[in-house]
Structure 1
Amino acid sequence: MGRPHRMALRATAMGAASATLVAGGVLGLTPAAQAATGGVRYVDIAGDGGTVLKANVVTPADGARSHPLIVLPTSWGFPQVEYLAQARRLADSGYVVLSYNVRGFWQSGGEIDVAGPHDVADAARVLDWALANTPSDPRNVGMAGVSYGAGISLLAAAHDPRIKAVASLSGWGDLIDSIYSGRTQHVQAAAVLDTVGTVTGRRSAESREVFSAFYSSDLSKEKTIVAWGQKRSPVTYLDQLNKNGAAVMLAGAWGDTIFPPNQSAAFYERLTGPKRLEFRPGDHATAELTGLFGLPNDVWTDTERWFDHYLKGEDNGIDREQPVRLKSRSTSGYEGYPDWKSVDATREKIALAGSTTIHTNVNSGADGGIVFLSSILDQAAKLPPVAAIPLLPRRWAAVWQSGRYATEQRVRGTAKLHTTVTPTEESGTLVAYLYDVGPLGLGKLVANAPYTFHGHTPGKPFGLDLDLISTAYDVPAGHRLALVVDTVDPLYVEHNPSGARLTFSSPANDPSYVSVPLREQ
């Protein structure tokens, strides 16, 4: 990656980091000011190897008897006061709530372990401390968190059978499938994490080495990166998590540019205990953000209901609701499904006929937008990234379109691309986009996904199957869908040699298509 490109990524990441830190600072002021009269206790806890973890404890007014315990590890780059507003609400409902700053960030000791073995061991030490020093019921222990805290909570539940319920908010099930899906580096997402970690924490030598290898596109480091990510992925410990039997709630956003919904849905399907899956519009951690300020918030309301049922035993009906709960990017209501497979059970194939050759190394004008900004605009104003489909230069973009739909169509789930690719070089990257195209040809982005290949014989065709990022989007009557494929997107690292070309064909014995999960309104 060239130095100017890296500097641009750093600038993008610094903007996102600044927003994170501003939010963290605001959260640190208002709840802390309230804490003087709110029964908040600030404590030091010895984590793995004696590392000091800064924490706060909020207990119910009736501290004479035992209460269910909820432990909240902080998000990446956030201080220990992050959850104080929610901690106070939960304490008022009868929970002992302990929030701690994960190692390597802010005033906690140690170096950033990126949800590694030290972080998992820290969670166990925090539970030990809470059960020994607060009026907590050891039979009813829960963990929850946003983003980094969500992943640590799932990993802890897989390793510690004391944890009876988990709420993972904007977390991950598979770290590699999050930032390296399609064997392609999600470089803007990684740059945000890297920069925030540098500004707010102390990076370990291991994490610096892994991020450096990630940016460098050095294939000799790929196995190291994958092994590092697998060690930090809850899906790796799925059998242990299922054996422990924790009730798991997963909540995320359709436009999450750090932990996309596909990997969470796949993880959810493999859980065997009590479970719930929720997706809403937005980007990483934006759906639950207002709840951190103590404002009404659907994600946090469902989190409390989840704990009320599985830790308090309240018959609040959450176990009888449809366990998969979705909100479309186009409408305001919620939809319920019995499982993830039912979401996209109805499909339509759009044929990708003919043979099309595109040149690489140039952004055609179709892209996934900017990390955080684009999906937040989609969440707040229903303004996803757009492209003028008729004007996309066919030298650098392959384009296919469906017919116009007479009635509104609901896209729910995962669109799947199947095609045959013939490269002129042994390596390359392509990015597929699904657009909702209006009468004037303006396309609104519905979904996208990158794909990188290595080691192929130049001039020899190979089959390609690619899942686009899952979504819920309504296509208005009179519109059509378009599939666009090009080779450059600012969200991802490209691996196209200069002057390379890609040909997409549809052999008679293996036709090309995009399968879209459509259902008529």
Structure 2
Amino acid sequence: MNDRPGVPGAGTEDRAWARQSGTSDDCAGRRQYRVEVTEHVGVTLSDGITLSDGITLSGRLFLPQADEGAKRWLCLLLANGYGNRNQPREDGLCGFFARSGYAVLHVSMRGSGASEGVNTLFESYGEDGCELVAWMAGQEWSTGAVGMIGQSLRGISQWLTAKRLPPGLKAISPEIASPDGYDDLWYAGGTLPGPGRRSRGAPEYPAAAAHRNKDDWWRERTVSPEELARIAQSGIAALISGGWQDYVSPGNLKAYSALRAHGGICKLVVGPEAHASVARMEPYDFRLCQLRWFDRYLKGEDNGIDREEPVLLFIRGADMWRYERDWPIPDAKRAAFYLAGIPSGTLAGRDGDGSLSFAPESESGSSVSCYDYLPDTGPLLPAMRCARGGIPAADLSRYEEAAASWTTEPLPRPAEITGIVRLRLWAACTAEDADFVVTLSAVSPGGRSQQLTCGYLNASRSRSRSHPAPLVPGEIRDYVIELMPMASVVPEGFRLRLAIAGGSCSLPEQEAPQGPGLQPLPSAVTIYHSGRYPSCLEVPVIGGFIGPE
């Protein structure tokens, strides 16, 4: 995909591309304050509210100092389930906001750092977060208006606090953090936890493993669509950010869409990164974006951030940032590619690799593709992501030769695919359960296949994550698989390839790979693609269309 970097998709040249205009150091003459840091600030939780009554949480307070004497400050809370010791990145974030005039509390959540209590997984994040917000709002140095900051686990604490609507909470900025830890972290698409989750060990993994289905325990630790609607209606302003190569991106973007649909105050920023904060954002630095967000929704400053388009995306391949009116992009055109049995001739090591066609096969046809899945031998696809590596850069061809695959003709012009790719699949399995692991790749004229995005689905939980239904062996059923959101330009002359396998494998260079664990049941899988069973890949295209006009 790096053969011709910096080329926008056909028909996107006149869209709202951004240009660099400022950095976090460019604060338009903003006053910088001295900061006093107080260690071991104790916050004692109320009796009868949480699981361990009256425990004390330990915080580090960053308090700006005004030469003119006592002053009340807007407040930011960083609730850290890893503890607040030896966290230079988080302390740097706290210092940045404190120098800018915010009182910041970096607190160890229960059972972490020097805080009392016991933690398992997201333990009492919502309840404790509410009490921490109330504590900050009630201090003599506080204006009473509180926001929340932090990435990953520290962003999850923001979602779980916001869903309880504490009165003092006015704005949040969850980075690379999904409100649904069940579907986006632990049981991706309903599949078993993969190696990255299992490697986290006690207490997290045993706690999650004890709750295979999305039960009441998980509902306490996730934010439902109804709860997102209430957050939107409460007026809590959410600056949601993430990266296209991150394994929690689906949750970030779904949360934005849910808030937006219910009239919420929200902004979405998605960069090229994996599991890390947005970097090298345009038109200005992401930290400055956060500062402007809190200035607007805690301080009430009219700084214009609410008049910008609410969505800012990095488009891979074009290697530029662009503003959009909404997510999913409203004027995206969905190209439908039907799975067909006609060989594409693009995988030399596989007989009968299929094609992606703009029309379904005939009603009378009985075209099928088959593979036999064994947990020891697959077929498997490298469809896992990790914190630093993101989307694997490996050539997928040898994996696709063992899987079921379908490939398009070469694209006549560069095409931007931005949005959520969906696969409607008709399939039958010989076992009572099966997993579908799906990759979409871009195949160069030389035959190198590089992953664009991927998706996972556990068949027995395809209708409900809470109430799985065993498959009837041999029964043909339809499944809808949402692949991870993406924003990439596929160059002219490249092909798109869809591949499906029974499981996912990691690559040697991947550290703590995130994705599904292996389905333990062997199964013979038949995928149907005919007029009666029109298995179809839907691809969101921006600008020039890649199918029949």
**TM-score band w.r.t. shorter chain:** 0.7 to 0.9
| Deviation of 1:403 (Å) | 1.1
Question: Given that residues 349 and 514 in structure 1 are in contact (C-alpha distance below 8 angstroms), is that contact kept between their aligned partners in structure 2?
Answer: yes
What is the match of residue 463 of structure 2? none
Residue 149 of structure 1 corresponds to: 154
Query: Do structure 1's residue 166 and structure 2's residue 172 form an aligned pair?
Result: yes
**Which residue is equivalent to 1:14?**
none
Number of equivalences:
448
1:359 aligned onto 2:368: no
Question: Which residue of 415, 418, 429 maps to 1:423?
Answer: 429
Task: Give the counterpart of 1:493 among 517, 536, 546.
Answer: 517
1-side partners of 2:535 and 2:369: how far apart?
12
Q: What is the rounded CA distance, in whole Å, between the counterparts of 2:205 and 2:243 in structure 1?
A: 28
Structure 2 Cα separation of the partners of residues 311 and 430 of structure 1:
45
The 8 Å contact of residues 428 and 494 in structure 1, kept in 2 or not, is answered as no
Tell me the alpha carbon deviations over residues 6-59 of structure 1, each in whole angstroms, 9 at most, x when there is no partner.
Answer: xxxxxxxxxxxxxxxxxxxxxxxxxxxxxxx84111112213522221211112
In 2: Cα distance, 1:510 partner to 1:282 partner:
38
- Per the alignment, residue 336 of structure 1 pairs with 323
Aligned mates of 2:83, 2:378 — CA distance in 1: 32
Report Cα offsets for 1:285-326 as digits up to 9, x if no partner: 3536x99xxxx9933222111101111222221101111111
Amino acid at match of 1:120: G
1:462 is displaced (CA, Å) by 0.8
1:184-228 Cα distance to aligned partner (Å, 9 max, x none): 124134225x34xx4xxxx3xxx5643333xxxxxxx534x5332
Does residue 210 (structure 1) correspond to residue 204 (structure 2)? The answer is no
**Higher Cα Rg: structure 1 or 2?**
2
Indicate if the aligned counterparts of 2:372 and 2:379 stay in contact, CA closer than 8 A.
no
Cα deviation, residue 364, structure 1 = 4.1
For residue 507 of structure 1, report the CA deviation from its aligned partner: 2.8
- Distance of aligned partners of 1:273 and 1:191 in 2 relative to their CA distance in 1, 3 Å threshold: same
Residue of structure 2 equivalent to 1:185: 192
Deviation string 1:67-121 (CA, Å, 9 cap, x unpaired) is: 21111112546637552222222122221111111111122221115334x3222
Query: Quick check: 2:422–2:480 contact (8 Å CA) kept in 1?
Result: yes
Q: Is the 8 A contact 2:38 2:60 kept in 1?
A: yes
What is the one-letter code of the residue matched to 2:519? H
Contact 1:174 1:267 in 2 (8 A): no
- Does residue 1:40 correspond to 2:64, yes or no? no
Identical columns (%): 25
Q: Does 1:56 align with 2:60?
A: yes
Structure 2 unaligned residues grouped into runs of 5+: 1-33, 342-367, 461-469, 506-514, 545-549
Amino acid at match of 1:501: A
SS at match of 1:359: strand
Task: State the TM-score, normalized to the length of structure 1.
Answer: 0.80
1:444 match? 450
Q: Which secondary structure state, in structure 1, belongs to the residue aligned with residue 133 of structure 2?
A: helix
Could you tell me whether the CA contact under 8 Å between 2:35 and 2:64 is conserved in 1?
A: no
Give the whole-Å Cα distance in 2 for the aligned partners of 1:226 and 1:127.
28
Residue 287 of structure 1 aligns with which residue? 278
Is 1:324 the equivalent of 2:316? Answer: no
Q: Distance in 2 between matches of 1:323 and 1:264?
A: 14
Using the TM superposition, give the Cα deviation of residue 386 of structure 1 relative to its aligned residue in structure 2, in angstroms: 2.8
Question: Compared with structure 1, are the counterparts of its residues 388 and 177 closer, same or farther at alpha carbon in structure 2 (3 Å cutoff)?
Answer: closer
1:277 Cα deviation after fit: 1.1
1:507 counterpart residue number: 530
Larger helix proportion, structure 1 or 2? 1
Alignment of 1:74-473 (within 5 A): 74=80, 76=82, 79=85, 81-82=87-88, 83-116=90-123, 118-138=124-144, 140-159=145-164, 160-179=166-185, 180-192=187-199, 194-195=200-201, 198=202, 203=203, 209-213=206-210, 222-223=212-213, 225-235=214-224, 237-257=227-247, 259=248, 261-271=249-259, 272-287=263-278, 298-342=285-329, 345-354=332-341, 355-361=368-374, 362-364=377-379, 366-375=381-390, 384-389=392-397, 391-392=398-399, 394=401, 396-454=402-460, 455-473=470-488
> Does the 8 Å CA contact 1:54/1:107 hold for their aligned counterparts?
yes
The CA deviation at 1:234 is 2.3
Q: What residue identity is the alignment partner of 2:422?
A: K
Q: Distance in 2 between matches of 1:44 and 1:409?
A: 55
Q: TM-score, normalised by structure 2?
A: 0.76
Provide the secondary structure at the position in 1 that maps to 2:381.
coil
**Alignment RMSD, CA only?**
2.5
Greater relative contact order (CA < 8 Å, ≥ 6 in sequence): 2
